[in-house]
Amino acid sequence: MATDQVASTNQYLSSTKSVLQAGRDLQKALTAKKGLQEKNSALTKLAEAGAGHDVGTKGYRAFMFSEAESEGATEPTHRIQAAENLFASTLSDLEIANVYLAAGQNIGETGEDPKPYLLDDALNRLEYTTDKLEAFLAGSETQGTGIARYGFAEAPAEADSSSEKLSAIDAFSARADVTLKLLVDQAGEVVTTVIDDIKRLLDKISPAKLLEALEGLGAPVEFPKLIGKFIQQGIEKIASAINALVEFLGSDAVTKIKGEVVKLWNDVTGGGLVVSLLNSILGIQKTKDNITEVLKLEGLDNDKVNGATDDLSKLALPYANDMAMAKRAVKAISLAATILLVIPITGPKVALFAATSYGLVLSLVVLVGTDYADSGRILERVRGVGEITNSLRP
């Protein structure tokens, strides 16, 4: 890892760990029912840690954006790493936001009785993610390409060993089928969870308003103004994380794909099957047709085909990692919504905010999926199945 990136990541990690420690200190003060002075001291430290984290996040994002736009971003491994860095920091920021929301809930900012388990859940999730960030900094998670990984997902199982007995062309075809199925299956897990969570919001807002939020994807996310210092701090951190994700993906890219997100929502709620819909949205058949066409060409080079098969196998882990982070992001948004939706006056505004956040996760899943399938040519951050296949053309 480059020296500048180490320094930037170190600062970000340090600010994240400060929030985690301050949150644990508050948890202890609340659990032990210590005096007002100890409680206020813990709250002050948490507020200060949040301000420090804002500084660390700003520096880290600035570096990551500059890296993504640099000349090196034309290299596939560089593009993959830059995307993974931003996705990981977005997840971490969402989980940090939940620490502040849960802290606010436990000191009475939502008007409910304290729920210590919410703060415990938020802190445990942040601790897990922080451990992954720290492991990444140490470079302990790597794949054959030498790219550092965050380790949110284990490498998917290899294809059946019988494929070793196949010809080079048949082995490539088999690996492509496995890879394309992986894209759909793992995206489907995220989409199903998101759709189920979005349905919860219909108790607070009308279907028309929810659809309006999804149709507005790509615009900057506006956060509701709420009473309560820590609740507000948490909301602002969520908005900051979501807006950074939009900026990284590109508002144009999100705008282009939002029609598919709206269609996905309408079709699933209308009884459509998620896997079938994703096969269509990700253009899986189009990619398969291209594979069939290329593999029938005369003059294919066996060595190139074997190399391409290996390249396909290397797509599995980074994609699985992205989808694992997306699943955790959904859980983070869900926890935030659980805390915030109970506030009577601002419930509808929070529901719209949550709907937009969920919609952006759906956008991420669709954009990343089409990028790996090479069917949409929007993000173009990954050398996906289509590009690898086309590299075989004589």
For residues 21-44, average pLDDT: 89
**Within-domain flag for 157:** no
Residue 144 has pLDDT above 50, yes or no: no
* pLDDT tens-digit readout, 91-126: 999 999 999 999 999 999 988 899 999 999 999 999
* pLDDT tens-digit readout, 364-381: 999 999 999 987 677 778
Taking alpha carbons only, the member of 27, 54, 33 closest to residue 121 is: 27
For residues 196-219, average pLDDT: 87
For residues 262-290, average pLDDT: 91
C-alpha 257/C-alpha 265 separation (Å) is 13
For residue 348, the model assigns a pLDDT of 78
Residue 137 has pLDDT above 70, yes or no: no
* pLDDT tens-digit readout, 326-343: 999 999 999 999 998 887
Residue 165 has pLDDT above 70, yes or no: no
Domain count of the chain? 1
For residues 245-252, average pLDDT: 83
Cα 233 to chain centroid distance, Å, stands at 21
**Within-domain flag for 9:** yes
As given in the structure block, the two tokens for residue 341 are 């939706």
CA distances from 388 to 78, 287, 311, 312, 314 (A): 17, 11, 7, 7, 11
**Within-domain flag for 379:** yes
**Within-domain flag for 158:** no
**Within-domain flag for 131:** yes
**Within-domain flag for 281:** yes
Domain with 177 in it: 3-150+163-390
**Within-domain flag for 20:** yes
For residue 271, count other CB atoms closer than 10 A to its CB: 6
For residue 83, the model assigns a pLDDT of 75
**Within-domain flag for 110:** yes
As given in the structure block, the two tokens for residue 139 are 């470079």
Cα-Cα end-to-end distance for the chain? 36
For residue 72, the model assigns a pLDDT of 46
